[in-house]
Structures are given as C-alpha cells and as structure tokens.
C-alpha cells in the first residue's frame, strides 16, 4: 500500500489500521454523505473513495473486501423495512394476541380458522413461441422473451391453519361482489357441523364494506379478525402465496386467462392432496417481534 499526499499537500502517513478504520466508517455511511451519487457502496467504489479522499495512493477492491469481511460488513446488500406510522399501542398488541391465539390454541370441534387474502394481477403472458423443457447437458428450460398481454386474474384464497387445505377461486376483478361470492363458496364447502368460521384477513374496504356486512348478518357462522396495519406476515395464506409464486409463476406461460384459471385450480387440488399446516407458535412470533416490547400473555 503506497502512501499519498493529502489534499493540503502534506504527506499522509496513515497506518494500515487507520486506513481500515476509515474504510469501515465510509461503508457505514450513505454514499451521499461523501457526495457520491451511488445507491450503495461496493468494494470498488469504496476503494475509489479512499483514493479520492487522499488516504492512500492506491488500494485494491480485494483489500477493501478483506477489511469488510473482517468486520462482517456487506454494504452492497439491503433489506426493506417500514417505519411504523402508528405506535404499537394496546390495540395493536390486542389484535396480535387475538390472532396468535387463533393459530396456537386448541380449537373446538365446531370451529375452523381460515386465513384469507387475494393474490392480484396474475397475468397469463402467453409466449410468442412455446417454452422448451430442460435437456441433458446442462441445458435449462428455454422461455421465449416476447409475450402477449391478455389481461389478469385475481386469485381469492383461504388457508386452513390446522389442515393446510386451501380454498380458492379466480375472478376478473377484486371487489366486494367477488369477495362475497368467494365467502359463499367457502360457506358451501364447509359442513354445517362447523358452527364458527374464523376469518383472518387485512382491513381493506373489500373485506368490510356495506355489502359484506349485509352478507355477514345473514351468515352468523363467520367471524372476522383483522390483522394490524403492515402485518401481512401474520396472515398465513401469504406463506402459501409464496409457494404458489415459486412453484407455478417462476415461468409465466399460459395460453389465456381461462387456461390460467384451470391451472390455478389444478395447483390447488394437487396441493390439497398433500396439504400441511405451517408451524406457528407464540415463541416464533415473539422472535419476529423481538424489537418491540411484547405485551402478550404467557
């Protein structure tokens, strides 16, 4: 590592530990603070910045990488997070406790818990040429880049937290009308011996509008439990949606919306052949919310 002159022209004799410390300092700050127009730092940009600052005459990205590795720093990575607009007050913890109780307590023989939501804007995306399957010799599936836009479907789905069974229907739109139709579909599927159908869902207008309330007044078996704001992770059907996305929509190539609807029904039927619940517990939720002062009953 060669030693440069600094901006004032005086000789800079920074020791290697001092250079390493400054590189770590840079990596722990946003690039804008150093007047660099970058989304995030990488090893090459940190090396360039160290040279621009006059810390060293030259430093390689590999040297920067070793420094960052020693400090377990990866400034080229990022995670999304959401600052809460509302405080986590008593109402928040009461809603969390209510839903976790539904997931973990022993249910009576006459009740079920269903997690419900919609996976929207599912596009068929028929390809200009058929998708080709994988072949020997490390040849992967080949998917034509060009596709047609032929509209989209909205999948309404409900996940049984105890059996893992999924109820689902596809619609062209997402309104109270479709939501009520889906509730009617569930009503017809669940036997009369079940007296209480707990529905866990988010608090959007589609789920609690006037038409929905009018329908619920005539169907007293249904009881709604709304997740708190920005707590979609508490809705177990979201876990199932991630499986659907990974297994069925990694390659989107369906001839039409009708074909897509058939394939969605087929996926749900085949899932139900080997359905399984997800492992939720009060301890697992406590880990997720470890950064908040939980006020949940032991």
What are the φ and ψ backbone dihedral angles of 121, each rounded to 5 degrees? 55, 50
Token pair for 126: 């028929």
Q: Is the pLDDT of residue 292 over 60?
A: no
Contact 28, 73 (CB under 8 A): yes
Contact 185, 169 (CB under 8 A): yes
Q: How confident is the model at residue 285 (pLDDT cuts 50, 70, 90)?
A: low
pLDDT tens profile 237-267: 999 999 999 999 999 999 999 999 999 999 9
Q: Is the pLDDT of residue 84 over 70?
A: no
pLDDT at 283: 75
Q: Is the pLDDT of residue 120 over 60?
A: yes
Characterize 163-195 residue by residue with b for buried, 16 or more Cβ atoms within 10 angstroms of its Cβ, and e for exposed.
ebbbbbbbbeebebebbbebbeebeeebeeeee
Q: What spatial distance separates the first Cα and last Cα of the chain, rounded to whole Å?
A: 58
- Helix segments in 128-209, DSSP class H: 176-189
Separation of alpha carbons 209 and 61, rounded Å: 57
pLDDT tens profile 123-134: 999 999 999 999
| DSSP-assigned beta bridge partners for residue 197 | 112, 222
Q: How confident is the model at residue 290 (pLDDT cuts 50, 70, 90)?
A: low
Pick from 16, 19, 66, 20: which is nearest to 43 by CA?
66
Structural domains of the chain ordered from first start = 1-79 (no CATH), 90-129+143-286 (3.30.420.10)
Pick from 148, 144, 141: which is nearest to 129 by CA?
144
Query: For a pLDDT cut of 90, what percent of the chain falls above it?
Result: 75
pLDDT tens profile 172-213: 999 999 999 999 999 999 999 999 999 999 989 999 999 999
pLDDT at 115: 98
Contact 123, 151 (CB under 8 A): yes
pTM of the entire structure? 0.76
Separation of alpha carbons 113 and 197, rounded Å: 6
Separation of alpha carbons 107 and 100, rounded Å: 13
- In this structure, the chain runs to a length of 298
pLDDT at 174: 97
Q: How confident is the model at residue 96 (pLDDT cuts 50, 70, 90)?
A: confident
Q: How confident is the model at residue 22 (pLDDT cuts 50, 70, 90)?
A: very high
- Mean pLDDT, to the nearest integer, of 103-115? 96
Pick from 276, 109, 287, 295: which is nearest to 195 by CA?
109
């Amino acid at each position: 590592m060669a030693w440069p002159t600094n901006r004032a022209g005086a000789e800079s004799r920074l020791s290697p530990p001092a250079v390493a410390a400054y590189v770590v300092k840079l990596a722990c700050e946003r690039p804008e603070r150093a007047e660099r127009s970058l989304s995030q730092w990488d090893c090459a940009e940190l090396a360039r910045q160290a040279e621009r600052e006059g810390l060293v005459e030259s430093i390689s990205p590999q040297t920067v990488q070793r420094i960052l590795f020693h400090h377990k720093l990866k400034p080229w990575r990022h995670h999304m997070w959401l600052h809460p607009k509302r405080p986590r007050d008593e109402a928040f913890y009461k809603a969390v406790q209510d839903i976790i109780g539904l997931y973990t307590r022993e249910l009576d023989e006459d009740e079920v818990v269903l997690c419900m939501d919609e996976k929207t804007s599912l596009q068929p995306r028929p390809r200009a040429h058929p998708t080709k399957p994988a072949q020997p010799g490390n040849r992967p599936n080949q998917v034509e880049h060009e596709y047609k836009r032929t509209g989209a479907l909205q999948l309404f789905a409900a996940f049984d937290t105890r059996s893992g069974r999924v109820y689902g229907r596809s619609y062209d739109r997402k309104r109270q009308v479709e939501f009520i139709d889906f509730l009617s579909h569930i009503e017809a599927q669940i036997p009369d011996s079940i007296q209480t159908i707990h529905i866990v869902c988010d608090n959007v207008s589609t789920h609690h509008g006037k038409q929905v309330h009018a329908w619920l007044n005539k169907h007293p078996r249904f009881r709604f439990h709304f997740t708190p704001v920005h707590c979609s992770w508490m809705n177990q059907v979201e876990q199932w949606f991630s499986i659907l996305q990974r297994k069925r929509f990694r390659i989107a190539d369906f001839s039409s919306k009708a074909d897509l609807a058939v394939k969605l029904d087929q996926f749900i039927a085949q899932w139900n052949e080997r359905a399984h619940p997800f492992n939720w517990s009060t301890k697992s939720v406590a880990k997720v919310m470890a950064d908040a002062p939980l006020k949940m009953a032991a």
